């Protein structure tokens, strides 16, 4: 299924008059509006290949019609999102769920649809049918060298697939840890993980980055080998310049000050990747912005400041949505997530940084709060719409998705019972 540009133009034309009026009002109020529209228009977030089908919980999964069952179809779905939003021009693959049997062919398909290959993801948290050793008691941290070797070899293989596709980074997320006190020697597990990661790092092409994701608990409920940003940072530092920490918003204990972590990592140029989602209790993987939009805005405030004041040369982080879609149409959910991310970004760009700095230097707390809240309370829908429109996207992407009846078209093409690989 491919959406024609003319269809989007037709839908936009009905909304244009109102949109232009709103834009005029906004540009009267904000002098830097053009710059903000520009930044948003050039912003893209990668979509993980496993987010395109129905997600589930450990209790069950309720399918969606028209789910993509091949890598080609996953890329097609992302192209649909990208055509509407002009903000999702990359896919993040997961091996072995998305082994490209014909890398050249897949690359050509993606290129034709304007989709690039973002970070590759390895999987040593599940046992695959043909593998010799089990990851039941860990992978890169395992007590048995043969298991570690197998996990290292898998990660090297993932890098090789990525090279064939034109990806430039590998994300390692480990489920390794322990469920019961006494099960694992923390220090031995850490050292084993570090030496396994060193082998993987040695296989990294010189223009690649390695992202190390952390998580405090789940699937292990007593300890996780890479439990927090400090552990990830230590590992990355020991590996070398191509290794970075990856922040996943859901991977923090409740009420953790994530914006502070972001700022600290960027001070040292160590924030390499970012997984967006939202959470109420744990790693809930809810749609971005549904629970704590103000926190997301404060995080973007640090990201904007970090990118504008960057003596440690923090790279532009690799942005990805890492959420689960167990009730909504996954494509609608991803469009909503993109909107939430860009909303927070645009609002953070509206912050008067000079005024904020002067309030901070004078310890004028009330003014500092007001400056942030003025930006947060500004309606930026029109900014997002204008950024999309200028790129040929939809003024209202969800409305367009529904008017174009995308889901039913996909069901017609793929059937009611197709299912996507993933969690
Ligand atoms: C797991 O909790 C992490 O968020 C991973 O980034 C990701 O969801 C997983 O690798 C999916 O395969
Ligand atoms: Zn993640
Ligand atoms: Zn997660
Ligand atoms: Zn999550």
Q: Per residue in 247-266, pLDDT tens?
A: 999 999 999 999 999 999 99
Q: Is 76 in the pocket of ligand 1 (CB under 6 A)?
A: no
Phi, psi of 177 (to 5 degrees): 170, -155
Summarised one tens digit per residue, pLDDT across range 279-330 is 999 999 999 999 999 999 999 999 999 999 999 999 999 999 999 878 999 9
Task: Give the angle 135-254-348 at the CA atoms, nearest 5°.
Answer: 110
Mean pLDDT of 223-250: 98
pLDDT at 55: 81
Min mean pLDDT across 59-68, 223-232, 249-258 is at 59-68
Q: How many other C-beta atoms are found inside a 10 Å radius of the C-beta of residue 347?
A: 26
Summarised one tens digit per residue, pLDDT across range 99-116 is 999 999 999 999 999 999
pLDDT at 89: 98
Residue 422 has pLDDT above 70, yes or no: no
Residues 232 and 212 sit within 8 Å (Cβ to Cβ): yes
Confidence label for 421 from pLDDT (cuts 50, 70 and 90): low
The residue whose CA has the least distance to atom 8 of ligand 1 is: 322
pLDDT at 57: 77
Distance 8 CA to ligand 3 centre (A): 34
Mean pLDDT of 195-212: 98
Distance 250 CA to ligand 3 centre (A): 6
Q: So what's the ipTM on this one?
A: 0.95
pLDDT at 56: 79
pLDDT at 63: 83
pLDDT at 423: 61
pLDDT at 83: 98
Residue 36 has pLDDT above 80, yes or no: yes
Q: How many other C-beta atoms are found inside a 10 Å radius of the C-beta of residue 377?
A: 9
| CATH superfamily of the 5-414 domain | Divalent-metal-dependent TIM barrel enzymes (3.20.20.150)
Task: Give the angle 271-293-286 at the CA atoms, nearest 5°.
Answer: 80
Percent of the chain with pLDDT over 70: 99
pTM: 0.97
Confidence label for 52 from pLDDT (cuts 50, 70 and 90): very high
Distance 285 CA to ligand 3 centre (A): 7
Distance 411 CA to ligand 4 centre (A): 28
What is the DSSP annotation of 320-356?
EE----SSS-HHHHHHHHHHHHHHHHHHHHHS-HHHH
Neighbours of ion ligand 3 (CB under 5 A): 283
Q: How many other C-beta atoms are found inside a 10 Å radius of the C-beta of residue 23?
A: 17
């Amino acid at each position: 299924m491919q959406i024609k540009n003319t269809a989007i133009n037709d839908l936009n034309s009905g909304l244009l008059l109102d949109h232009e009026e709103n834009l005029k009002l906004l540009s009267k109020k904000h002098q830097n509006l053009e710059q903000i529209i520009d930044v948003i228009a050039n912003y893209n977030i990668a979509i993980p290949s496993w987010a395109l089908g129905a997600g589930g919980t450990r209790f069950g999964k309720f399918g969606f019609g028209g789910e993509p069952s091949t890598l080609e179809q996953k890329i097609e779905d992302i192209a649909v999102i990208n055509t509407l939003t002009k903000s999702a021009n990359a896919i993040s693959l997961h091996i072995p769920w998305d082994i490209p049997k014909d890398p050249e062919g897949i690359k050509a398909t993606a290129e034709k649809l304007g989709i690039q290959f973002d970070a590759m993801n390895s999987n040593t948290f599940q046992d695959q049918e043909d593998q010799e050793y089990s990851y039941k008691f860990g992978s890169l941290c395992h007590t048995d060298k043969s298991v570690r070797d197998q996990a290292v070899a898998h990660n090297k293989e993932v890098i090789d697939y990525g090279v064939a596709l034109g990806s430039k980074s590998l994300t390692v997320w480990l489920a390794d840890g322990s469920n019961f006190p006494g099960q694992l020697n923390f220090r031995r597990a850490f050292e084993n993980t570090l030496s396994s990661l060193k082998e993987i790092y040695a296989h990294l092409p010189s223009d690649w980055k390695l992202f190390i994701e952390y998580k405090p608990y789940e699937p292990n409920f007593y300890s996780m080998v890479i439990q927090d940003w400090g552990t990830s940072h230590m590992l990355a530092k020991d590996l070398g310049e191509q290794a970075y920490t990856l922040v996943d918003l859901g991977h923090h204990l409740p009420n953790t000050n994530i914006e502070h972590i972001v700022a600290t990592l960027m001070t040292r140029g160590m924030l390499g990747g970012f997984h967006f989602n939202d959470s109420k209790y744990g790693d809930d993987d809810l749609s971005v912005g549904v629970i704590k939009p103000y926190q997301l805005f404060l995080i973007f405030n640090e990201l904007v400041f970090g990118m504008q004041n960057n003596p440690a040369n923090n790279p532009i982080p690799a942005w990805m949505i890492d959420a689960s879609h167990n009730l909504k149409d996954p494509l609608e959910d991803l469009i909503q997530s993109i909107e939430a991310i860009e909303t927070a970004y645009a609002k953070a760009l509206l912050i008067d940084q000079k005024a904020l700095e002067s309030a901070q230097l004078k310890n004028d707390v009330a003014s500092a709060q007001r400056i942030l809240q003025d930006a947060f309370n500004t309606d930026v829908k029109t900014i997002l719409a204008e950024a999309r429109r200028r790129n040929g996207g939809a003024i209202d992407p969800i409305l367009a998705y529904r008017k174009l009846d995308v889901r039913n078209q996909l069901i017609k093409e793929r059937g009611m019972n197709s299912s996507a690989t993933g969690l």
